[in-house]
Chains A and B, each alone.
Chain A
Amino acid sequence: MFLRRVSLLTALLVWASPLVAQRSITTSDVFSRYADRVVKIQVVETSSAAKATIGSGFFVTPTGEVVTNYHVISALIHDPGRYRAELVDVTGAVRPITVLGVDVVHDVAIVMTEMRPRAHFTLGRASVAQGNRLYSLGHPEDLGLSIVEGTYNGHLPHTRHARIHFTGSINPGMSGGPTITEDGRVIGINVATAGNQLSFLVPVERASALLDRVLARGGEPPARTLEDIGRQLRDHQEAYLSGMFAGETKMVELGPYRVITEPAPFFRCWADALRAHELPYESVQHRCSTDDQLFIAGDQSAGVVKLEHEMLSTRTMNASQFFSLYTYVFAGDNTPGGQQEHVTSWRCGTRNVRNASVPMRAVLCLRRYRKLGELYDGVLKVALLGRGDTGLVSTLTLSGVTFENVDRLARRYLEKISWR
């Protein structure tokens, strides 16, 4: 009987021992095991020798290749004469880095330093279940290497490019750092946050694919990184813009008008209405956009397709007053910003246009990217005519697209507008 009890206790201990061992891994253990694989990446303005941006990165090969975000080093790529980039390892040693490859669509970059790391992560396919605990490493606000606990919450449902939803506090400066499991498998690369522990990761597969391409090239830096970025943006948009608004398109009815809505499943649409006693008019707004803005530099983004419809109606204003309001809304500026070093000024053309049925005032504003080849921002605004007490201002915003796509989408957009 005694022996039986002893053997039962022994069996229980043997069975429970892995659990005990597993529970014994703390955040502190994860940090101490993997901290030396994570680095700080800083872009320095050469004339003042001051840091312009900082981010994080992590070693992925024994020869010194480091994964980070493209947006961490974008200033260096766009203006290499003004900036230099360097890596600071866990010991505080500072070394210059070279950009080996960029995936601007997924916001990943591979850089290299001459330094041989003491240890590195191995990239590979990694799968975890929703709710699994993950650890994010990086240099938040340049406060030193930090570790953040959080949970894996699957992929975002409405994006064209996969993004992992990580519930944990990623802060500026942690971009490019790894988010790992407790056994050191990289799940994603820190890329963005929406606050309140709502953070996003680039799936590790994207970094893995870019690393493979870089290594296949022999680890040599590309001849012209900016041209490569321009080509990536053009290839990327061809995949989903060429067929947009063509054929059967989802339409929404706003007052007497029918206009395009949710042109693809990865668009998200929102609506709102403005009705206030002190206002002599009503406004109904309907907006659709993608969450897939591609960071290029500064406040410049690409791949943006945004639709905005605002229907105005009144019962109390006379026609002259209503059209003053209509003019005010139509002439309002809602174009994306930009910096002179990246884009030209806007040029706009206005015409009174009539498609098969609807007369409208149409404005197209266009500007070109200075460094990224044949890429443009285009904004098409139309004000539908024909009613004295109702109007609709519709805006199509395209960023970082080829002129062919601006032309094609603007024409289709105009053609699709109809009476209810």
Chain B
Amino acid sequence: MALILEVLHPTGARTWHRLGEQPLLVGRSLTNDLVLDDPFVDARHARITCDEAGTPLIEDLGSVNGLVGKDGRFRGRMFLGAGAEIRVGRTILRFRDTDEPVPPALVDDFPVPAVPSETRAASIKRLRRLARVRRWSTTTGGRLTIAAAAMAAVAVYTWLGSMDRASASEALYKAVVFALTVAVWSGIWAVASRVSIHRFQFIGHVATASAVALGGLLWMVVAEWLSFFFPDASLPELLSFAVGLCLLVALVAGHLALASAMPRRRRWRAGGIVAGTALVIAALATVAEEETFSDVPTFSGVVKPISPNWVPTETVDEFGAVMAHLKDQVDEMAKQ
């Protein structure tokens, strides 16, 4: 019986390694045969080998956290068989039989358009480019570029909305305030990261917060234009709410990716819980606001610099219908 070692990394990734007769050294150091990027794993943590009878076993090499099997933590050796599961730090080593049956492949009924080979090559190229961008965004240079882009966006947005003569200094001031806010926010996450995985990851947290802020800013611009073109449509408002929640989920999941060893699914789930809580609070606040008397009206007062020929307009008579609708609403309120 030959065994396959399945490694479940803390990030959620899985890798497989065929066990042979040669011993396999496991640890965080790059000199090991199996390198685990896990802060709870020692530089040289364990060795997987076979005894004289050829039975595979794992032995602890005097690590800080030892090994965790089905009967708990141990520091000696343990024989391995198909189905055995050993935790090393936050990484799980699962041993599987090479003869283990696998279910038949699912039928792929996804419609595949006939793509000309040139187009396919182009799409592959695009995917590779995306992958490169993704890799670049995790480098220090990429992260700093994202932070700088968000700062610049804040400055430009402020400058375009400035009503003072000193618009440039106002833009600079807002950009600096934004940078300080992001730095403080990221600092808090960095401390959490240090406690959790023994690394600060400050630049990463700055990039995460900046990317989310950049997304929020871009959406604000889009939402303002939507609100100008379609003043009475509730869709832009709902979209804004949905985008806000998505950004919140991304913010939490992004920070958790840097600050914990949580698998990807759990990170997004945590983000979803935070966003769900925010949703409930916002819903309660909206209900409370609707029921609370206010002598200050709320309306969309956004106007945009664009040729009126591009703006959908109504006639004065059609506006009369809006007034009649408002009358029904306030009549109903007066009855209550």
A: which residues have CB within 8 A of B? 278-281, 316-328, 330-333, 335-340, 343-355, 359, 361-370, 376, 379, 381, 383, 385-386, 388, 391, 403, 406-407, 410-411, 414-415
Give 10 closest A-B pairs by Cβ, nearest first: A331-B301, A346-B297, A359-B308, A319-B305, A348-B299, A340-B293, A349-B322, A350-B231, A354-B313, A324-B161
Complex alpha-carbon distance, A291 and B301, angstroms:
29
The CA of A376 and the CA of B329, in the complex, are separated in Å by 12
B91 to chain A, nearest CB (A): 53
What is the bound-complex CA distance between A339 and B334, given in angstroms? 13
> What are 28 of the A-B contact pairs (CB < 8 Å)?
A318-B160, A320-B160, A320-B161, A321-B159, A321-B161, A321-B163, A321-B167, A325-B163, A327-B301, A331-B301, A335-B297, A345-B293, A346-B297, A359-B308, A359-B313, A361-B303, A364-B319, A364-B322, A364-B323, A365-B297, A366-B326, A376-B330, A379-B297, A383-B301, A385-B308, A385-B311, A386-B308, A407-B320
The answer to whether B313 touches A407, judged by C-beta atoms less than 8 angstroms apart, is no
Q: When chains A and B are docked, how far (Å) is the Cα of A322 from the Cα of B319? A: 27
Q: Is A352 a contact partner of B297 (Cβ separation < 8 A)?
A: no
Q: Cβ of A407 and Cβ of B323 under 8 Å apart?
A: yes
The answer to whether A344 touches B330, judged by C-beta atoms less than 8 angstroms apart, is yes
Also in contact, A411 and B320, with CB within 8 A (given A349-B326, A359-B311): yes
Tell me which residues across on chain B come within 8 A of A359, comparing CB atoms. 308, 311, 313
Chain A residue contacts of B320, Cβ below 8 A: 407, 411
Q: Is the CB of A321 within 8 A of B162?
A: yes
| Contact yes or no, B163 A328, CB < 8 A | yes
Q: Are A331 and B308 in contact (CB under 8 A)?
A: no
- C-alpha spacing A349/B313, complex, angstroms: 14
Which B residue sits closest to A328, measured CB to CB?
A: B163
Per-residue interface assignment for chain B, residues 153 to 185, with 1 indicating a CB less than 8 Å from any chain A CB and 0 otherwise: 000000111111101000000000000000000
Q: Could you say which of B164, B294, B305, B315 contacts A353, with CB atoms under 8 Å apart?
A: B315
Which residues of A sit under 8 angstroms from B228, Cβ to Cβ?
A: 352, 361
Query: What chain B residues lie within 8 Å of A336 (beta carbons)?
Result: 295
Cα–Cα, bound, A402→B297 (Å): 19
B302 at the interface (CB under 8 A from A): yes
Q: With the chains together, A333 CA to B296 CA distance in Å?
A: 7
User: Is there contact, CB below 8 Å, between B163 and A323?
Assistant: no
Point out the residues of chain A lying under 8 angstroms from B229, CB to CB. 352
* Contact residue among A324, A345, A414 (Cβ-Cβ distance under 8 Å from B294): A345
* Alpha-carbon distance A97/B327, docked complex (angstroms): 38
CB-CB nearest in chain A for B309: A359
Please, how many angstroms separate the alpha-carbon atoms of A128 and B311 in the complex?
Answer: 62
Q: How many residues of B contact A (CB 8 A)?
A: 48
Chain A residues near B287: list those with CB within 8 A. Answer: none
Instruction: Check if B316 is an interface residue, CB within 8 A of chain A.
Output: yes
Taking CB atoms, residues of chain A closer than 8 Å to B323 are 349, 364, 366, 403, 406-407, 410
- Given known contacts A335-B297, A391-B303, is B326 in contact with A348 (CB within 8 Å)? yes
List, in ascending order, chain A residues with CB within 8 A of B315's CB.
Answer: 353-355
Q: Report chain A residues within 8 Å CB of B160.
A: 318, 320-321, 324
B102 CB–A CB distance under 8 Å: no
Q: Check if A278 sits within 8 Å of B331, measured CB to CB.
A: no
- Residues on A with C-beta less than 8 A from B319 are 351, 353, 362, 364, 410-411, 414
| A326 CB contacts on chain B under 8 angstroms | 303
CB pair A366–B330 under 8 Å, yes or no, is yes
CB of A300, distance to nearest CB on chain B (Å): 10
Hey, which chain A residues are within 8 Å of B296, CB to CB? Answer: 333, 335, 346
**Known interface pairs A327-B303, A345-B295. Does A352 touch B314 (Cβ–Cβ under 8 Å)?**
yes
> Is B232 among interface residues, defined by CB-CB distance under 8 A?
yes
User: Of all chain B residues, which has the CB nearest A369?
Assistant: B334
Q: Complex Cα distance A350/B189, Å? A: 42
- Tell me whether A347 and B330 are in contact in the complex, defined as CB-CB below 8 angstroms, given that A327-B301, A354-B314, A407-B323 are known contacts: yes
Known interface pairs A324-B161, A349-B323, A351-B232; A330-B305 also in contact (CB < 8 Å): no
Residues of A within 8 A of B305 (CB): 319-320, 322-323, 388
| B318 beta carbon closer than 8 Å to chain A | yes
B316 A350 Cβ-Cβ under 8 A: no
Chain B residues lying within 8 Å of A364, measured Cβ to Cβ, are: 319, 322-323, 326
Q: Which residues of A contact B312 (CB under 8 A)?
A: 352
Report if B300 contacts A (CB, 8 A): yes
Query: B333 near A: Cβ within 8 Å?
Result: yes
Q: Across the two chains, which residue of chain A brings its CB closest to B294?
A: A345
CB of B117 closer than 8 Å to a CB of A: no
Complex Cα gap A328–B161 (Å): 10
Interface contact B231-A351, CB-CB below 8 Å: yes
Seed contacts A348-B299, A385-B311, A407-B324; 14 additional CB < 8 Å A-B pairs? A320-B305, A325-B163, A331-B299, A335-B295, A339-B295, A344-B334, A345-B295, A349-B325, A353-B313, A353-B319, A354-B315, A362-B319, A364-B323, A366-B329
**Closest residue of B by beta carbon distance from A371:** B334
Q: Are B314 and A353 in contact (CB under 8 A)?
A: yes
CB contacts (< 8 Å) of A325 on chain B: these are 163
Do the beta carbons of B334 and A368 come within 8 Å of each other? Answer: yes
- Compute how far the CA of A319 lies from the CA of B303 in the bound complex, rounded to whole angstroms: 11
Compute how far the CA of A333 lies from the CA of B302 in the bound complex, rounded to whole angstroms: 14
In the bound assembly, the distance between CA atoms of A410 and B175 in angstroms comes to: 43
Q: Tell me how far the C-beta of B301 lies from the nearest C-beta in chain A, rounded to whole angstroms.
A: 3
Q: Which of B22-64 contact A (CB under 8 A)?
A: none
Query: B194 to chain A: which residues have CB within 8 Å?
Result: none
Q: Which residue of A lies closest to B165 (CB)?
A: A280
Residues on the B chain within 8 Å of A391, using CB: 303
| Beta-carbon contact of B167 and A352 below 8 Å | no
Q: Which of A279, A331, A347, A365 has the most CB of B within 10 A?
A: A347
Minimal Cβ-Cβ distance residue in B for A379: B297
User: B234: CB under 8 A from chain A?
Assistant: no
Give Cα distance in the complex from A347 to B51, angstroms: 82
Partner of B232, one of A278, A335, A339, A350: A350
B119 at the interface (CB under 8 A from A): no
In the complex, residue of chain B having the shortest beta-carbon distance to the beta carbon of A326: B303
- Residues on the B chain within 8 Å of A351, using CB: 231-232, 313-314, 318-319, 322
Most central of A344, A364, A407 by chain B CB within 10 Å: A344
Interface contact B293-A353, CB-CB below 8 Å: no
